Amino acid sequence: MKLLVLGSSGGAPTKKRNCTSFVIKEESYGIMLDCAEGTQRQLLLAGYKVSKIRYIFISHLHFDHIAGLVPMLSTKSMFGIEGKVTILGPKGIKKFIEVNLDFVKSKFLFETEIIEIEDGLETSFEEFKVSTHLLKHRLESFGFRIMFNDKLGNIIKNKLESFGLKEGPVCGQLRKGEEVETKSGEKITLKDVASESTKGKIFAYVGDTYLSKGIYKTADNADFMLIESTFQKEHTERAEARTHLTSYMAGNVADRSNVQKLMLYHFSASYTDMNKFITEAAEKFDGEIYLADDFMEVKI
């Protein structure tokens, strides 16, 4: 499972950075986090197919986080790309999509599900569950805490054969959690013939915000946290006034929340020394720190 950076700039794009969008790449599907203007072109340049995107999580309704949503999905529809898309976003996201489509007399020719979120909402899907936590921004903004299911162990052929069983339909039954009876009448489950399962990762996505309780609810014990870091420490007062974080604050959140890996994004275009974002976060956090850069991929 990897995180693909499609846009890392804050507020407006630059020559080197598009505005906010990321994709969590699983083997058979993708979770998009925000969708700024130009995101579908970023997908083309990254070589990632829109057909793989099954979930889209929108942190808030500022244009640098949502302006690319309807155009991207309209392209999916125009080319007849099938596959249901589930969208989670703040109250108003459904109306935003409907108004845009109505204005151009269009509609999506694939199934969509739109869930308007609130503080503390927990939603379960086949591969993971996600909780949403209210942050502190100039308009309603949310953090997403994504808790992936444990990954089942691999069936070991020799163990299977030791019970007089062969690979085939039996493996499917075991993976579904069913018991299988051997010829001798013994009942076995997946754990009897497979390697140990792998604990599911916790991924925290913190959208635009100033310091708030919601950040810590989102970040708690996360394996990987993606957190906005608009300003450097010298502009702490500006960060509070604009309801954004500094890199130092982001590092402190990661340290207090027992995060394993940290990625900073949403940088103000006013800075030229980008390494300072990392050094300031590292004053508080001694784990792995990444500076988001468009088209980079990082293992979660």
pLDDT tens-place string over residues 8-30 = 999 999 999 999 999 999 989 99
pLDDT tens-place string over residues 253-300 = 999 999 999 999 999 999 999 999 999 999 999 999 999 999 999 999
245 assigned to some structural domain: yes
Catalytic residue among 64, 102, 192, 286: 64
299 assigned to some structural domain: no
pTM: 0.90
Give me the residues paired with residue 236 across strands.
none
Q: Is 64 among the residues known to form the active site?
A: yes
Same domain, 187 and 252: no
Give the pLDDT score at 178.
87
pLDDT tens-place string over residues 129-163 = 999 999 999 999 999 999 999 987 888 888 888 88
Give the pLDDT score at 181.
86
* Residue 180: domain span: 157-193
- The neighbour count for residue 111, using CB atoms within 10 Å, is 10
| pLDDT value at 59 more than 90 | yes
Burial class (CB in 10 A: 0-12, 13-18, 19+), 271: middle
Distance CA 47, CA 283 (A): 36
Which CATH number do you get for residue 142?
A: 3.60.15.10
180 assigned to some structural domain: yes
Same domain, 25 and 171: no
135 assigned to some structural domain: yes
Mean pLDDT of 188-201: 88
Pairing of strands 122-124, 128-134: antiparallel
